Structure 1
Amino acid sequence: MSLTDELWAAIEPVYDEILAHPFLAGLTDGTLPRQAFRHFVVQDSHYLRDYARALAVCAAKAPGEAEVRAFADDAVGAIAAEQGMHAEFLTAFGDTAEQAAAEPVMPTTRAYTSYLLATVYGGSFAEAVAAVLPCYWIYARVGERLLAASSPEPLYAKWIATYGDEQFQAVVRRVLDLTDRLGEEISPAERRRMVEHFTTTSKYEWMFWDAAWRGETWPV
């Protein structure tokens, strides 16, 4: 079994729960409350700043020049997404990027990024790749799945199109190819750690959408 097959098998129940979540159902039929989408965008802006740092660490740990360039480019792309697409979404809500940046980082966002950064800094290159992979792969699968239906709400349709786009899909295929190459080189113990990190951050992906749906705040 290839490593990517093993990884996906480990999180297939999580992915099924993601597809069934009312946040995504509301995206496609246009019924998602705009406040839930705003919560998502603001928290995603916070998340992407730390995700870019995680990708930069992947670049620093990468063994080959091609991988260094690829992850460095993806880190820049994460910042560009935060500054571009999110700014456009926030403008639709009458907000600015500066206002969003001043809003608190909510519990799920903090937990996810803390785990992500701890793993990429403390683990091997392979473990770092496993930790950042769900944000590539699950978004690509979700975008691909939702693209045909799109959404009657233009903001939601734009979000779906971004992740269903072939350019993004090609980036994800590149990371999946790298993951399978790593699977041929690493020890069984490191492979188990990759599965653990991949599974954990996949669960955080579900939690991230759920937090937006619930309008999560700090309880105290």
Structure 2
Amino acid sequence: AAGTASGVAAGTAGGGAVVTRPAASWSAQVWAAAAAVRADVDALDFVRGLADGSLPRETFLRYLAQDALYLGEYSRVLAKASALAPNSEEQAFWARAAESSIVEERRLHESHLGTASNAPAPQTLAYTNHLHASARSYGELVAALLPCFWLYTDLGVRLAARRHDGHPYDDWLAMYGDPGFTAATARAAEIADAAAREAGPHERARMSAAFTRSMEHEREFFARA
């Protein structure tokens, strides 16, 4: 990481105001506990360059190539969450998220990358392996999935405020800053909180560990780019 987190946008890493959860909720607590990781992400040259549009094109394409590979596995893990969900509403939510992961987000990737194939980087494999391993319980799995929603929403909304005519990554900023994605993130956090309330102390501890590890994987994923 280079510099300080204040370079991305006002009120950045320590905030969390983009998606607000009750202070006593499990999700609010683990989000707050990840403040240092979020600050590390904000301080990365990649994120700073993405914010102001100075990121080299080849760096962005390298990131997108890995993200496309990640999303292929992420959609499979979302489908696992749908299969494990305790009710039809949550089952449908995760199924829609799995479809969006493939159809909407990979559409953006293909518009930049074409259909070229790439090998997954070690950071990509480590993250997706962690997600698959978290599927031993519904609570642990949704906890592991939540950072990809929440961190991208947090970045997307804040970085979208930096959009300007001719910004080279405007479509990326528009996607993750979209209110619909913010609403989906809020719903994912609600579902995770419900799972945490139903879980015993041991399961809640595993949920927290899974969330924390996913946040760390997100940082390493951005850092690799």
Q: TM-score scaled by structure 2? A: 0.86
How far the C-alpha of 1:33 sits from its partner, in A, is: 1.1
Q: Give, in whole Å, the separation in 2 of the partners of 1:64 and 1:29.
A: 43
- Equivalent position of 2:87 in the other structure: 64
2:220 is the alignment partner of 1:197: no
2:191 is the alignment partner of 1:185 = no
Cα offset for 1:51? 0.1
Q: Say yes or no: does 1:113 pair with 2:90.
A: no
Cross-structure match for 1:133: 146
Determine whether 1:28 maps to 2:41. no
- The question of 1:171 aligning with 2:184 is answered yes
Q: Find the counterpart in structure 2 of residue 54 from structure 1.
A: 77
SS at match of 2:176: helix
One-letter amino acid of the structure 2 residue matched with residue 144 of structure 1: V
CA distance in 2, matches of 1:4, 1:125: 15
Taking the aligned partners of 2:54 and 2:89, their CA distance within structure 1 comes to: 43
After TM superposition, give the deviation of residue 182 of structure 1 in Å.
1.8
* Residues 129-159 of structure 1: CA deviation (Å, up to 9, x unaligned): 0011100000001111111112565441211
Q: Deviations over 1:48-85 (max 9, x none)?
A: 00000000000000010111111011101101134311
Structure holding more helix per residue: 1
Map Cα deviations across residues 4-49 of structure 1 (whole Å, 9 max, x no partner): 1111122111011111111010011211111110011100000000
Q: For structure 1, list consecutive stretches of 5 or more residues without a partner in the other structure.
A: 91-95, 213-220
Is residue 43–residue 105 contact of structure 1 (8 Å, CA) maintained in 2?
A: yes
Moved over 6 A (4+): none
> Does the aligned pair in 1 maintain the 2:144–2:211 contact within 8 Å?
yes
Q: CA RMSD in A?
A: 1.3
Which of 48, 69, 74 is matched with 2:97 structurally?
A: 74
Q: Is the 8 A contact 1:27 1:151 kept in 2?
A: no
Identical counterparts, % of pairs: 37
Q: Relative contact order (alpha carbons < 8 A, sep ≥ 6): 1 or 2 greater?
A: 1
Structure 2 residue 181 is the aligned partner of structure 1 residue 158: no
Asked if the contact 2:41/2:219 (under 8 Å) is kept, the reply is: yes
Counterpart AA for 1:112? Y
SS at match of 1:84: helix
Tell me if the contact between 2:196 and 2:207 (Cα under 8 Å) persists in the aligned partners.
no
Q: Which residue of 2 aligns with 1:8?
A: 31
Say if 1:48 and 1:78, in contact at 8 Å, map to a contact too.
yes
Match of 1:217 in 2: none
After superposition, the Cα gap between the structure-2 partners of 1:37 and 1:86, relative to the gap in structure 1 and judged at 3 Å, is same
* Count of aligned pairs between the two proteins: 202
Q: 1:201 to 1:153 in 2, by over 3 A?
A: farther
Give TM-score, length-normalised by structure 1.
Answer: 0.88
Letter in 2 for 1:146: L
| Runs of 5+ consecutive residues of structure 2 not aligned to the other structure | 1-23
Deviation string, structure 1 residues 186-216 (Cα, Å, up to 9, x no partner):
111111111100000101101111111xxxx
1:46 aligned partner, one-letter code:
L
Choose 61-70 or 176-185, whichever is displaced more: 176-185
